[in-house]
Amino acid sequence: MERNEQRESRGKQQSKKERLRGHDKDAPDIRISKTLSWVLRHGASSEGLFMRPDGYVRVKDLLALPKLHMLDFMMLERIVQEDTKMRYHLLLNADTNPDASGDAAQIWWIRANQGHSIKSIKLDLTPITDSGQVPMAVHGTTLQAWAKIQRQGLSKMNRNHIHLAQGVAGEGVISGMRTSSQVLIYIDLSKALKAGIKFHISENGVVLSEGDEKGFLRPEFFWRVERANRQPIPGWEGPVGGLDVLTSKMEAIKVTEAEEPSNQDPLSSNTEEKSTS
């Protein structure tokens, strides 16, 4: 009886280890991407993967995971390239373990561009020292969450950063906000920077902040709050004409980007790197 229970327990543990994240109704690519995202942001250690200080893991180690047995390099490359939020970054770089001759072979590495809960990860982030570096910083959330946020502020929770977008979903913004957001919280970057709050930009354009010493962006730094239909929430309307200023900045940036010629391969920043950020 006891042996049967032990076998059942091992079977459950193994099936959980091999199970993809997401819902059964999700398309296979979506479930694989959700699993990739979880492993690279949160679960590398529990999956037994070596992770460099900058967040990269060996692709060969990732593909060897039981839960990703259906994934090969070509499929992984396609998922990375087609990810609309540019969550991942592929890099051809020297292995950290040299071979017997002492030479470090060139191998493929992959990382998540942001969203980590692993505290030791140090990403290549661009510091924001002036509010003019980005058109805006806005956080999308739900009405239910807003009830608490309006009292205590935005929290990074178990992640390393609070995530903010440089615009509203649907305005050419790649990442930083869920399209299902019901409430939009615009941050007063100038005020927050003057108060000593640090902000950074990730490789895929997400504005990140560690918040204050307790990991919060307090309501005093909320510039305007509105519903997804762009109607302001009473008491959080922001300055008169302020939203028009933000809209004008976004339009100016779009015009500038459209006028700038680009001869660079959108999938590669140099001969050794495939970039999705």
- Whether 137 and 193 map to the same domain: the answer is yes
Contact by Cβ (8 Å): 42, 34: no
State the DSSP H helix or E strand holding residue 223, giving kind and residue range, or none if neither: strand 222-227
The CATH number of the domain holding residue 251 is 3.20.170.30
- Whether 144 and 252 map to the same domain: the answer is yes
- Whether 62 and 92 map to the same domain: the answer is yes
- How many structural domains compose the chain? 2
- Report yes or no on 5 lying in a domain: no
The CATH number of the domain holding residue 67 is 1.10.10.970
For residue 30, what pLDDT is reported? 84
- Whether 38 and 99 map to the same domain: the answer is yes
Is residue 48 classed exposed, middle or buried when 0-12, 13-18 and 19+ CB atoms within 10 A define those classes? exposed
> What secondary structure does DSSP assign to 94-105, as a single string?
E-SS--TTS---
- Whether 155 and 253 map to the same domain: the answer is yes
Which structure tokens are listed for 153?
A: 């502020």
Domain hosting residue 63, numbered range: 17-112
| pTM score | 0.65
- Whether 138 and 243 map to the same domain: the answer is yes
Helical H segments across 18-93, by residue range: 28-38, 59-63, 73-82
Alpha-carbon span 45 to 245, nearest angstrom: 45
For residue 168, what pLDDT is reported? 82
Q: What is the dihedral of CA 32, 139, 116, 46, to 10 degrees?
A: -60
Per-residue pLDDT of the chain (277 residues; tens, 9 = 90+): 555 454 444 444 445 556 776 667 778 888 888 899 899 988 888 899 999 988 899 999 999 999 999 999 999 999 999 988 888 999 999 887 755 555 668 999 999 988 888 777 777 889 999 999 999 999 999 999 999 999 999 999 988 899 999 988 665 555 567 777 899 999 999 999 999 999 999 888 899 999 999 999 999 999 999 998 989 999 999 886 555 555 555 555 444 445 555 444 333 333 333 433 3
Strand partners, 88: 112
Is residue 21 classed exposed, middle or buried when 0-12, 13-18 and 19+ CB atoms within 10 A define those classes? middle
